[in-house]
Chains A and B, each alone.
Chain A
Amino acid sequence: MASHLGGLSGAPVVRVESLIRSFGPRTILDGLSLDIDKGEFVALLGRSGSGKSTLLRALADLDDKVSGSGRLETPDKKSVVFQDARLLPWKRVLENVILGLDLPDAAKRGRAALEEVGLGGRENAWPVELSGGEQQRVALARSLVRDPELLLADEPFGALDALTRLRMHDLLRQLCARHQPAVLLVTHDVDEAVTLADRVLVLDKGGIVADIAIDIPTPRDHGDRRFGEIRSELLRHLGVETKPVLPV
């Protein structure tokens, strides 16, 4: 899956150079640089507190109160999926999906997006009537209905149970294959990163300390030998020592 390097058009959609972000005296991102290609799926790992959310919020233009500097180029068409579904409780599901969407056929697109995430027919439900996984699917639909060039997701499946999470992986993979946005997925789950991404980054001490292209054909099997190797390498970068899964 390293093919993204040559396969798609050359110009990256996200370009970050010497990004610095600090909270008071603590510098969280310290001269970080990062490119994401068109349609590329990048997963970002890092210890808790390493600054993953800080980076993602910078990319989402949600950090105007944070001090910092650096060059940051992102497309206009970008969507964010948060850890919580963040649906407005006073809007029905369909209205939530097309919130802020100023198009004549917004409702039609919204329905189609809900259909895509498997929630056709729930358009008129209130958010409180949905399960956590369903709410997160609505959030996905809300992101995709805008046809983003960049999808930013901060631990979007963190609050879901393991089984639902696996289903969501499949769904996300399908949706990304169809809509082809560039993706930056923040996660603390190494397997999730290796399963989904074209490229996995590890953030530590304010910069990217590992940048690993995942050269395993999809669908990926967790028991695969190469999978195990990459997992070990990533865990090492994350400061977790493991025994090799298979003798080398």
Chain B
Amino acid sequence: MNAFSHPAAVAPTIGYASDERALIPPAVKPRKTGTRRRLALGRAIPFGALVGPALLLVVWSIGSVAGLIDPRTLPAPWSVVGTAVDLIAEGKLQGHLMTSAWRAAQGLVFGVLIGTVLALISGLSRLGEAIIDGPVQIKRAIPTLALIPLLMLWFGIGEGMKVTTIALAVLIPIYIQTHSSLRSIDSRYVELAQTLRMGYGEFIREVILPGALPGFFLGLRFAVTYAWLSLVVVEQVNATSGIGYMIDLARNYGQTDIVIVGLVLYALLGLASDGIVSFFQERSLSWRRTLAD
């Protein structure tokens, strides 16, 4: 207790920054004239992003202990953890996880490759745009998930259908963002390349591709989200393995704890993959980051 109250009590005398002062109830602190009010948000809270989830976890635990939450609706956190441990011990969780991750990865790779190539062809030539852009826009207007029945007729219900669905969902944001950032490269740079007598290949490599990279990464972040989204759907439509299948099976038997384990897994996968993408994004766009911070 003492450790907690200490900094707040000392704060005014040694002039702590505003965020610490905010701990003191306003009534105690007389408003002094000449105190500079900062409009900015102040210092970032360390691990601030974890505060909200931790709070949720606390509420959940208290609710479970106090018996306020029916375990059939929402099992206690520790029993979810216990279930997860059991599933891992049986080797089931890893199996489903691998299957799901493999599907998402394949769909992502194909979708990103195809989307990028299409964006390059359509972004770098008028003819390419005439041929490619229309169909992509039409595809974009049809929700990918609405295509599942057709894809099932074409590809059956196996892995091919699942990977195709994911790839189709992924290629749209990649195409849109890469294409638009290709096309919005400043014409002044094109002029520059011309006066420097760059060859076409060099122009593409030094000017066009780096210039389109911010758009590509933006598309990639959307793409990762779309990949997980479509994965969830294809795995619940028809599957005999994968996290979605595990959840669906658990639903049939009323095993809420396994459903929760699956959802947490989806969340972790989504967060982790977004983190990986933004890590590479920051590294490759460091020339821009210097402006941002």
Contact = CB atoms under 8 A, between A and B. Distances in A.
Interface in B2-49: none
B210 A88 contact: yes
Contacts of B188: 82, 84, 86
B287 A128 contact: yes
Nearest to A142: B196
Contact of A99 (B191, B194, B198, B211): B198
Nearest to B195: A80
Nearest to B211: A90
Interface in B244-293: 285-288, 290-291
A86 B189 contact: yes
Contacts of A60: 195
Contacts of A128: 287-288, 290-291
The contact size tier of chain B is: 20 to 34
18 contacts: A60-B195, A61-B194, A61-B195, A78-B195, A82-B192, A88-B206, A89-B287, A90-B285, A90-B288, A91-B210, A91-B287, A92-B287, A99-B196, A100-B197, A100-B202, A126-B286, A126-B287, A127-B287
A61 B196 CA distance: 11
Given A84-B188, A128-B287, A128-B290, A79 B195 contact: yes
A-B pairs, 10 with minimum CB distance: A100-B196, A90-B210, A100-B198, A80-B195, A90-B287, A126-B287, A86-B192, A128-B291, A128-B290, A126-B290
Dominant secondary structure of chain A at its interface with chain B = loop
Interface of A: 60-62, 78-80, 82, 84, 86, 88-92, 99-101, 126-129, 142
A147 to B, nearest CB: 13
A79 B195 CA distance: 7
Nearest to A77: B197
A129 B290 CA distance: 8
A99 B198 CA distance: 8
A205 B21 CA distance: 69
Nearest to B198: A100
Nearest to B191: A62
B205 to A, nearest CB: 11
Interface string B72-112: 00000000000000000000000000000000000000000
B193 interface: yes
Given A62-B191, A84-B188, A100-B202, A89 B197 contact: no
A47 B206 CA distance: 37
Contacts of B191: 62, 82, 86
A10 B193 CA distance: 32
Contacts of A86: 188-189, 191-192
B76 to A, nearest CB: 51
Nearest to B214: A90
Contacts of B290: 126, 128-129
Given A90-B210, A100-B197, A101-B196, 8 more contacts: A62-B191, A62-B195, A82-B192, A88-B207, A90-B287, A126-B286, A126-B287, A127-B287
